[in-house]
Structures are given as structure tokens and as C-alpha cells.
Amino acid sequence: MHALIAVLAGDGIGAEVTAEAVRALGAVGKRFGHDFRFESALLGGAAIDATGEALPQATLALCRRADAVLMGAVGGPKWSDPNAEVRPEQGLLQLRKALGLFANLRPVAPHPAVLGASPIKAELLRGVDIMVVRELTGGIYFGAKHRTATEASDLCSYTAAEIERVVRLAARLARGRRKKLTSIDKANVMETSRLWRLVVERVMSAEYPDVSYEHMLVDAAAMHLIRKPRDFDVIVTENMFGDILTDEASMLAGSLGMLPSASLGESARGGLYEPIHGSAPDIAGRGIANPYATILSAALLLRHSLSLEAEARAVETAVSKAVDCGALPADIAAAGSAAISTRAAGDAVLAAL
């Protein structure tokens, strides 16, 4: 297979962790006989500094040509002025919209070897395997915004079509797993959630009768994720709820540094793959960031955009073996034990491959 992969390192630790994912993809290409080409471009704060734009046109053009996009992280205190006209996060939101990426997949499956890194009791974590599907293009993040010195507003809006497409994607995933879908909303107070709930019921009843589904209010879901995480199979929810709940769910895995994500549209080609963590400017340049979430995002890239299931599994197995062998970066290493560097973690994955 010949494939062009756009690499958007972004800001902070983004360059360090994407470098290890690119190394892993290169090793996969050699082992399985694929020709992966990598082209880099600017996004976020680095792009603002260089061009004045968070998403330069050259970056967007590359992403549209590419078979998939691998991203690091964007943002940092350097660009955090609330009055700034251009912010790093705007570039990511614009890119998702321009590429038609409406569903963000975030798998959560704690590794048995690092259960101790989680603040949650280990007995609650064994057997947890959750897929969160977050809607990406609607909701309060994209609604009309208004602010004066004394008031502010953000409009939350959804259309039935936006809800339908993300629910169908989540239902298809559930059909290939344990056939259980949990839809999370706030239908007791929000009209968008009431529409969400009605659409879920219509789509699931008419199109996915073999998949069981339930509704859950977001506040109850936040509690349930900690109390009984094994109860969940596939979760589908709107943009802001999904953003918050997946950060909470990262604590099940012990660290944000262990969780990958995939942002997909109607076509798998051109998906965007990134770790769910931020740019961590406090540790940038020190070579201690955990690259596993980014490497696992590369595995999702192989699976969803390139349809290379065996290759994706090889990367996931390699990460698992590296962790089993004790190759633990600082965020998941036990207190008092030696932590390995970003590069050493990448080396461990390549050795396992």
C-alpha cells in the first residue's frame, strides 16, 4: 500500500510524541511491505507564530490530499490571552470542520500492568473496555458566541441530521462489540438533549434492533464511570459532554498519556488521529512525555483510514508488550521506580514490533 500521512506536531510535547508514532508507522511499513510517506505542516500556536493563522491554507491543503492525518497537541500559555483574535484551538476546530470529521472515537481499556497508576481501585478497573463516541461538529463549541464586559453567551444547537450520523456510527461499533449503546444527554433541562434523545430512539429502533440501548443523564454518567465502569460498552454523546467525560475516563487508564483518539467523517480516508492529552508545555523539550497514546493513535490510523487491521493490532500488541516489560514513562511509572524517556518508550515499541 502507498499512503500519504500528514503530520501536524502542533505545540509543546506534540513534536516529541508524534516523532515516536512516525517511527512506529515506519517500522510497520517495512515489516508489512507498505510505502508510507510523511509530510509535516504547522497547526496551532506554532502556526500562529509563523503565519498569523492557527490553520494555514498550506496545512489544510496537505490534510485534504493526505490519506490520514497524525496530530500531536495544540495550545499553551503563550497563546492563552482570552482577548486574542486567533487561538491555537481554533485551528483544530477549523480543521475538523473542513475535513467533515463529525465523530471522535476514544477507546478506554486500562492495561493490567498499570492499574496502580489510576486513582481508582484496581478491582473496579479489571475488564473495563469502553468506546466513547463524541460528536464533533455541533453543540456549544460551534454555536454563536457573544461577550461584553458584563455578559456572555454561547449557543448550543444541534440538527437531527448531525445526531443521526454520529448515532449510526456508534451503533455500528456497538454491533461489532458487546451490542450495548449508552446515549448520554441532559434531557431533563436542555432542548438539544431532548431532540438528541428522540433521534436516538428513532434510529436505534428502526435501524439497529439487535443493539440494546439506554439513556443516561450526564451527571449520573460521570458518577457511573467511576463507580461501575465495566457496565459501559459504547457511549455516544454530544460535543462538550464527550470532551469532559473522556478526560474523566482517562483516569481509568491511569493517565491521559495512554489514551488515543480517532476523528472520522463519512469516509474513513482522511481521518485525524491524536492523543487526547494536551501540549503539556511544562514538560516540553525534556524528553519525558509518554508517547504511547500517540503511537496507539497511529494504530487507529492504520485500522480506520488505511484498513490495515493486522498492522493496527501489531502496533497495539507492541505497546502492550512494552508496558508489560516495564517500559513506563513518568506518568505511569510507580512511585520510586525509574521512569524511561520518550525515546526509550518508542524504542521499546519498535523492539516489540
Q: What is the CATH number of the domain that holds 301?
A: 3.40.718.10
Spell out the alpha helix ranges (H) of the chain.
14-32, 45-51, 57-65, 88-98, 122-125, 160-175, 191-207, 218-227, 239-249, 292-304, 309-324, 342-352
CA distance 106 to 300: 10
CA distance 297 to 276: 9
Which of the following is catalytic: 35, 49, 219, 282? 219
In this predicted structure, what is the pLDDT of residue 336? 78
Is 109 a domain residue?
Answer: no
Mean pLDDT by 10 residues, the chain (353 residues): 97 97 98 98 97 97 97 94 88 92 94 86 92 94 93 96 97 97 98 98 98 98 96 97 90 86 89 94 95 97 97 97 94 86 98 96
- Name residue, grid cell 458487546: 178
Closest CA to 1 of 24, 22, 40, 31: 31
Q: Is 141 a catalytic residue?
A: yes
Q: Is the pTM of this model over 0.85?
A: yes
If asked whether residues 62 and 124 sit together in one domain, one would say no
If asked whether residues 135 and 244 sit together in one domain, one would say yes
CA distance 216 to 213: 10
In this predicted structure, what is the pLDDT of residue 306? 97
If asked whether residues 65 and 33 sit together in one domain, one would say yes
CA distance 113 to 167: 33
If asked whether residues 272 and 247 sit together in one domain, one would say no
If asked whether residues 147 and 81 sit together in one domain, one would say no
Is 351 a domain residue?
Answer: yes
Is 266 a domain residue?
Answer: yes
Is 322 within 8 Å of 310 (Cβ atoms)? no
In this predicted structure, what is the pLDDT of residue 335? 79
3-class SS at 142? coil
If asked whether residues 145 and 77 sit together in one domain, one would say no
Is 264 a domain residue?
Answer: yes
In this predicted structure, what is the pLDDT of residue 84? 85
Is 111 a domain residue?
Answer: no
If asked whether residues 139 and 189 sit together in one domain, one would say yes
In this predicted structure, what is the pLDDT of residue 251? 84
Which of the following is catalytic: 129, 141, 321, 347? 141
Out of 225, 252, 279, pick the residue that ends a domain. Answer: 252
Q: Is 67 a catalytic residue?
A: no
Is 113 a domain residue?
Answer: no
CA distance 330 to 334: 8
If asked whether residues 280 and 215 sit together in one domain, one would say no
If asked whether residues 271 and 189 sit together in one domain, one would say no
Domain boundaries, position 302: 1-104+259-353
In this predicted structure, what is the pLDDT of residue 142? 87
- Name residue, grid cell 459532554: 241
CA distance 68 to 262: 10
Q: Is 121 a catalytic residue?
A: no
Is 153 a domain residue?
Answer: yes
Closest CA to 154 of 167, 164, 139: 139
Which of the following is catalytic: 11, 67, 158, 186? 186
Domains in the chain, number: 2
In this predicted structure, what is the pLDDT of residue 81? 84
Closest CA to 23 of 36, 32, 12: 36
Closest CA to 145 of 137, 154, 136: 154
If asked whether residues 151 and 274 sit together in one domain, one would say no
If asked whether residues 140 and 241 sit together in one domain, one would say yes
Is 183 within 8 Å of 214 (Cβ atoms)? yes
Out of 213, 229, 252, pick the residue that ends a domain. Answer: 252
Is 8 a domain residue?
Answer: yes
- At 263, list the grid cell: 476523528
If asked whether residues 324 and 235 sit together in one domain, one would say no
In this predicted structure, what is the pLDDT of residue 200? 98
Which of the following is catalytic: 129, 247, 321, 347? 247
Out of 223, 252, 281, pick the residue that ends a domain. Answer: 252
Which of the following is catalytic: 180, 243, 321, 347? 243
